[in-house]
Each structure stands twice: as C-alpha cells, then as structure tokens.
Structure 1
C-alpha cells in the first residue's frame, strides 16, 4: 500500500475526519443514554462518507490508474530494468 499512497488525499482525510467526529459524538451520547444524540452522531458518520465520496468525484481523491500494481512478476521486473 505504501507504493500507491493509499488514502493520502484531501477526500480521504476529510471524510475520515468527519466520520471520526461523528463516532465521538455518538459515543458521548451513548454514555449519556441519549438516543437522539447517538443517532445524530451516526448521521454525521454517514455525512462524512458522502462528503468524502463527493470530493473524490470532484477529483480530490486517488486517480483511477493509481490502483495498478507496480510490479507483479519477475518477468515484469526484468522488463522494468531494461
């Protein structure tokens, strides 16, 4: 994964940060026994995923060709050296 820079994009960081905040909100309200606040936190988690997906669609995510493996066989490694 290190070779493909997995997840190091503005879309990924934003989506995960918002989802993390949502989990924290839900956790606090779960301990306080407040179901409405818990579900509000879960809604924030879903919103984080949607925002990350929208940002990725806007071009702030990984390019489509970045998911190809660099070298998979010894023959490809030999071709890459020459």
Structure 2
C-alpha cells in the first residue's frame, strides 16, 4: 500500500544530525562530570559544560537549517534508502 503523504524527511539532514550530536555530547560530558564529581571540584565544571552544550544543539541545528542544510534546504541532497 502506497503512502499518499509526502515523506517529510524525518530529520535526515546535516542540520538535524549536527543538532543531535551536539546535544548527545552535552549529555555525555555532563554524565561524565557527574560520575567524576566525587574526585574534586574540577570535575564539576564538566557538568556545567554539558549543561551549556544541550541548548546549543538546537540553536546550531536551526542555524544550519537556515543556511540551507535542512531537509528542504538547497544545500541538502537526500540519499537513497
């Protein structure tokens, strides 16, 4: 059965992937800092670096989408599945 609704892309774009990778890096860095915080206050800084990266991810994704790297952008070429 064919789907009559056009495929919206589901975020398969450089902008979406970059946003997700930045947010995942933020969570990973924050988790590492949380696990190592018992070893001294220097590791607590990793928690705050991770917290700062999480909201930066969507901003980077939005900026890349505006620059043409989003699903419907002129610099995006869909890959065959």
- Distance in 2 between the 1:5 and 1:44 partners? 25
Equivalent of residue 60 in structure 2, options 51, 54, 67: 51
What's 2:16 paired with? 12
Task: Indicate the structure with greater helix content.
Answer: 1
| Structure 1 segments unaligned to the other structure (5+ residues) | 65-82
Q: CA RMSD in A?
A: 2.0
Runs of 4+ in 1 over 4 A off after TM superposition: none
Equivalent residue, structure 2, for 1:61: 70
**Higher radius of gyration, 1 or 2:** 1
TM-score by length of 1: 0.66
**Residue 31 (structure 2) pairs with residue 31 (structure 1):** no
Shift in Å, 1:62 = 2.5
- Corresponding residue for residue 77 of structure 1: none
